[in-house]
Amino acid sequence: MKFAHILGVAALSFGAAFSGAAFAADINGAGASFPAPVYQAWAAAYKEKTGTGLNYQSIGSGGGQNQIVNRTVDFGASDAPMDDAKLEKNSLLQFPTVIGSVVAIVNLGEDIPLTLNGAVLAEMYQGKITKWNDPKIAALNKGAKLPDLAIVPVYRSDSSGTSFVFTSYLSSASADWKSNVGAATSVQWPAGAGAKGNEGVAGTVKNTKGALGYVEFIYAAANKLHATDLVNKAGKVVKPDVKTFMAAASAADWAHAKNFAASMVDTAGEEAWPIVSATYILLPKNPSNAAASAEAIKFFNWAYGEDGDALAEKLHYIPLPNAVVEEVKKAWASEVKADGKAVWTN
């Protein structure tokens, strides 16, 4: 498997996605904000190397799915795997790009080391636990001086793959959450306030004392937000870092995953971070613009290489195992066709 050590954190300007040159993009994609930092970093490097531009709009997984179904972009991006029947109906190929991790972020006004678990997080987002010094939080943080401060849950207001991953974790950890709220890209949140995109949740938590949110890890790192430790399925307290992310990623059962939708949420393993997921690209199998699809595949083929992996690692994403990359390339060659001819050859 190709799991390298993280090389560091790259500073990002999430609001200014591209320079003027990139707006005249040759490839257009839209969707998940979860992988937006790495797609934007890849785009800049690829433009410099090849002259081919990429314009990626971070609009949420739901928006990405809708735009590719309507064929208004060359590819869609989603953290939530598309339903098998919907993939078939819309003649779409789904494949993963990188593996990322979702973390719980808090703003207590001071940097207090904090441990939470899935059941407590579910009750916080249900409005059942309303203060940071609640006995259930205190029981997980013995000796900590927790503030008598109201909890302000912050959730994604847009249709979001990050929400799908997070609510899948809450559903796995809490039977009450599973039966009353469930897991989806958009749910009826029982408590809290909404914000758009990982960017919006990170910004709201940063500016709101008492806030609790969930974001892809790079958004916590880039905004210098405190990410809590979590109790995993094995009952162990784990920190959000490359070691625990990789432990979860290594547990993915790719061999039996239809349409590459391998689950890494709440996996077994004493060192595994409990909220880890691949993120996906949706590409037409019968593109009306074969040249654009070919360019998109060339872009992701480059991204799977050493240069793309290095950029992903700097941003705390985990590259895919080599075996999975090879299966994706086979799928490109065999399933993406225009007028009966392969758009890309492996």
User: How is residue 218 annotated by DSSP?
Assistant: H
State pLDDT tens for residues 179-220.
999 999 999 999 999 999 999 999 999 999 999 999 999 999
What pTM was estimated for this model as a whole? 0.86
138 token code pair: 């205190």
CATH superfamily of 20-99+277-342: Periplasmic binding protein-like II (3.40.190.10)
Q: How far is CA 267 from the centre of its chain?
A: 17
Q: Percent of the chain, pLDDT > 90?
A: 89
d(CA 148, CA 229): 20
Give me the DSSP letters along 108-147: -SS----EE-HHHHHHHHTTS--BTT-HHHHHHSTT----
The ranges assigned to domains in the chain are 20-99+277-342, 102-251
* Rounded-to-integer distance, Cα 158 and Cα 252, Å: 28
Residue appearing with tokens 């407590």: 120
Q: For all residues of the chain together, what is the average pLDDT? A: 91
Give the pLDDT of residue 175: 98
Fold equal for 20-99+277-342 and 102-251: yes
What is the arithmetic mean of pLDDT over 279-304? 96
CB-based contacts of 109, cutoff 8 Å, min separation 6: 147, 149, 209, 210
Mean pLDDT of 55-73: 96
* Nearest by Cα to 83 from 73, 97, 70, 69: 69
Report the topology of domain 102-251: D-Maltodextrin-Binding Protein; domain 2 (3.40.190)
pLDDT greater at residue 111 or residue 267 = 267
Q: What is the mean pLDDT of residues 288-295?
A: 94
Mean predicted confidence (pLDDT) in 119-134: 98
